[in-house]
Structures are given as C-alpha cells and as structure tokens.
Amino acid sequence: MDEKIESSAPQKIRDRLKPLPDGTFQFACHPNVSCFTECCRDLNLMLTPYDVLRLARNLGLSTTAFLDAYTDAVVEGSPLPSVVLKMGDDGRRLCPFVSTTGCRVYADRPSACRTYPLARASRKHRVHGTVLESYYLVVEDHCRGFEEPRLWTIEQWIEDQGLETYHRMNNDWMDIVTHPRVRQGLTEKQIPMFYMASYDLDRFRSFVFQSRFLEMLDTGALDVEWARTDDMALYRLAVSWLKFFLLGEGPLRPKKAVQESA
C-alpha cells in the first residue's frame, strides 16, 4: 500500500483500505440495500473549498451562512485550518442532509461521498507536474453494497459519480496546501486569510471588490471582473491569490507603483 495514503487517511479507515490490483470492484448502493444511509452517520467528513461552494449554492446560502450553520472549524492538531461537516446531535450523529429516501443534496454532495467506497490518494509528479492517482477500496463491515452484482472499473466510477470536475478543482487547491512551505504552518496573519480564501468565498469576493485588492495587485491574464458574478472565476481567483499570498507564485503580482512606494 502507498505510504502516503497510510499516513494521510483517517485513522479509523486505515485498516479497511484494500488495493485494487486489476482496477475493478463490485458495488452498488440504493434504497433496497439493507444498510442504505448507514454510511451517512458518525462521520469526520472534511470538506474541500469546492465542496463548501457547491453545498452552499445547493441550499441557497452564502458560504458564510453555510459555514456557520453546517460546519465546525478544525484548527488544533494541523498546520492548516480545515472545516468538517457538523453531524446531528440526535445520538446517531446523522449527516444533516440525509433522509429516509437518501441524500437531500445529492447533486452537490461532497467529493468524499462521491468517491466512496473508494479512497483516492494523489500527488504531483516532481518532474512533469502531472497528477498521479492511486485508488483503494474502503471495505466496511456494515456495508452490504459489496454484495450487489454491479461491477465497476475505477474510470467508470469516476464518470458515474461526476468526480472529474471535483478532482480538477480540488487538485488546484491541494497543490497549495501540500506545498512543503505551507505544511510548516501559517502565521497568525495568514490563518484567517487562508480560511477566507479557501472556504468563505463570498467573503473573499467582498475582500476583492470592496478593498484595495485591485489597486495593489496586477492580476495578469486573469479576468477578475467575471469573479463578481461567476463562482468558478471567483474560485480560480482565490486559488491564485493563495499562491501569491502564501508562496509568492502564480499570475498575481504587486503593481509597479506599489513596489516603488514600498
């Protein structure tokens, strides 16, 4: 097994990860499976920035309102702040979006939910910069979905679950948070700015267009005006700003006048 996923996977599933030597697996999930929605409780479900954005829009909320209502921030024990989905306090710790008929936000469910019963480990090739992926099966005792006859390849599962866009958007952000300099930890000034640009994109939008952001920075080929109304343009701008703010890289640069007056 890849050392990377052994160390990065949540502790509670590490001994349940099984390799897929031929890239195929047998699985199906539907209301007639006896354990239906059992996997939707007692979760430590970390959300990516793209997860937060999709869920907030599904619910008709700003990212700020969504984060306040449905997530807990995790700061201790990690060099970077993260957010986890807040489970219900009903004794079973149910996902707030699960119902007897299934997921109420299915079209915009988080990437971890889409990937299950697979687990994905990814890294960038040090020379070519291409994303290298490894997949493992998460075999849980309660799951009866593995008894269903449907056979999948990894590629078929990715397409069926709509993971292509999620992977693309998550990869852009993961490039930053896995950078060795970022993994060393952030300063007190950087932590709230990282949290805002990663998770609270509506507040980041206000930061861009209601502060001196555009006066201070040359945005290069980025069409920043699209970010006023287009969430994908806003996401790309936030990722570019994080690269600049944390690493001094990417298309954003201080404007010459700002540099000369510094």
According to DSSP, the residues that pair with 136 across neighbouring strands are 19, 119
> 53 near 118, Cβ under 8 Å?
no
Determine the Cα angle at 32 with ends 18 and 150, to 5°. Answer: 45
pLDDT tens string for the chain (262 positions)?
Answer: 344 554 455 555 667 899 999 999 999 999 999 999 999 999 999 999 999 999 999 999 999 999 999 999 998 777 899 999 999 988 889 999 999 889 999 999 999 999 999 999 877 655 566 777 899 999 999 999 999 999 999 999 999 999 999 999 999 899 999 899 999 999 999 999 999 999 999 999 999 999 999 999 999 888 899 999 999 999 999 999 999 999 999 999 999 755 555 5
Across-strand partners of 71? 85
For the chain, the domains span 3-163, 200-261
- Residue with the two structure tokens 């555009």: 214
Distance CA 88, CA 104 (A): 15
Alpha carbon of residue 121 to chain centroid: 13
